[in-house]
Every structure is written in structure tokens, then in C-alpha cells.
Chains A and B, each alone.
Chain A
């Protein structure tokens, strides 16, 4: 049976503010409007029967919040947590989640002129999670779509 794909999220038309994070050795940008706070890594309560991309739950200001391992979502190797590991507490519609990333780098404004569509050669499973690509210094930077991330978590990956 064919999987129903969510419609691609268009690249932002106005300059947006993004939280820049490192996942493995790659750089990604998250829309800052959806970010509630950035928390230090702490060991979660593991949930029996949950898939590896959902390694557990934490209490974030008294609210039970699932952790989503962004490294595994993107098909990257999960490294051991370090002092730089962060949980990005995000909210979208009725979903609260804590995105596990290897480090937070910066908060940056990205004008639309600096954004280009994701390369056509990118794997479809990864391309569907992106709205655009840009440069951060001399390094490539990919803008993540939070609705697409949530849809991907909810599907049987």
C-alpha cells in the first residue's frame, strides 16, 4: 500500500529566525517560533515497546514530554551523549516533543534569498523533512520542517 506523503512545506517567504543545531557532523536549522526552550540532556524514563527514535520521556516543567532522537530520524549514527547534547523543547499543534541534538550552535536570521530548495539527489526519506537548504559560513545547512518531522515520527518508519 502506498504511504500517504504530507505535502511539502514551502520555503519561508520572509526572513525567519532559526535555531541552528548540530546533528552528528551535519548542521540543521529549526524554526525558532516553535522552540519553547533548550534544555540540557538528562536521562529519560525509557518506555517499553517504543521504537529507538523515541528513547524515552522526560518531565519538562511538569509536562510529560517524549524525546525524539533527531540523529536516528535523519539516518545518522547516534553518538554517546556529551556535555554539549541538548534537548530542544518544541510545540506544534497538539504535540509537545523534545528533539535530541548533539549541540546547539546559534540563533540566526535567514533571509529567503539565501535559501534554495533541497537538492533533487537527496534521499526522499530525508528530503521530505526539509524545507530548504542554505549555507552557514562555508558549511551546508538544512532547514527542517517540524510538521514533516512529526508526521514521520507518527508513521511506521
Chain B
């Protein structure tokens, strides 16, 4: 059976365009439980279910030089079993399904320090990295970073 292109498009994951202090990443919408706008000083100590909230700056986790969020920013919140992790970013600009996620390939993937990347999507002829946000949140909650 031949699938229409509309059917294929709906199978692409919905991606959030996430701007850190200096860089742009994509995050699957399904990895984010809540998206909240915060002043960085006002992150709550616990979430609505009483789990401790761990806050961190997403860009600096990935690249220590990616620092300098504006005073008001967004938190991508991932709720785990015992903790909620709030990853701060400058802004979340878009919800989009720009194209297929391409793997980073057999040369690069095994050489990464952490398995935090799902691949990359080509936007305007430039690759944009797609983050495995749930994996990052799990590592933050475990204190391994």
C-alpha cells in the first residue's frame, strides 16, 4: 500500500526549538512534561507532587562555555520517579516537525562523552542537534553531572 506524504509527516516527532545562551538545539516534545516560564531565582523547591526540583542550565551542561541566560527564562521540566529536573534555557521558540532525525553515524556516536544526543535534523542546510532530554534529566537527577 502506498502511503501518502501526509501520513508520513504525522509520523515525524514533534520537536521543540530550544535556544540556550549561545546555541540552538531541538528536543522531542514528548520528553518534556511541563514547560514553564521562570525567573531563575523562583524555581520551587518541590513540585506539585512533593518531589524535589533540581534546577540546572541546559546549555552549560552540554558545553561549559554556553553560559549567560537572560533573567527570565524557560524551564523544560522532566518529572522522574523521585525528582523533577528543571532545565533552564533562554527560550523555546517553536513547535515544529522539520524533517527526519538523522543518526550521527558510526564514527561519531561511539566517541561521544555521554549518550545525550538522538541525532540531528537539517534546518536551512545546517544540522541542529536533537537532545535526549529524558536521558540528560536522569543523569542530572543521579548527580553524575
Q: Which residues of A contact B (CB under 8 A)?
A: 45-51, 54, 57-59, 62-66, 68, 94-97, 150, 153-154, 156
Contacts and interface: CB of A to CB of B under 8 A. Distances in A.
Contact of A66 (B108, B113, B119, B126): B108
B129 interface: yes
11 contacts: A45-B128, A51-B111, A64-B103, A64-B119, A95-B106, A97-B107, A153-B111, A154-B107, A154-B110, A154-B111, A156-B111
Interface residues of B, number: 24
Given A50-B111, A54-B111, A62 B122 contact: yes
B143 interface: no
B127 A57 contact: yes
A52 B27 CA distance: 25
Contacts of A153: 107, 111
A50 B110 contact: no
Interface string B99-132: 0001111111011111011011010011111000
A150 B113 contact: no
Given A48-B63, A57-B120, A59-B125, A94 B108 contact: no
Contacts of A150: 107
A82 B103 CA distance: 30
A47 B126 contact: no
A66 B107 contact: yes
A50 B107 CA distance: 10
Interface string B126-145: 11110000000000000000
Given A62-B122, A64-B127, A156-B111, 13 more contacts: A46-B63, A47-B104, A47-B117, A48-B116, A58-B126, A59-B125, A59-B126, A64-B103, A66-B108, A95-B107, A153-B107, A154-B106, A154-B107
Contacts of B112: 47-50
B95 interface: no
A62 B108 CA distance: 17
B62 interface: yes
Nearest to B110: A154
Contacts of B108: 47, 50, 54, 57, 66
Interface in B40-99: 62-63
Given A59-B122, A64-B122, A64-B127, A49 B114 contact: yes
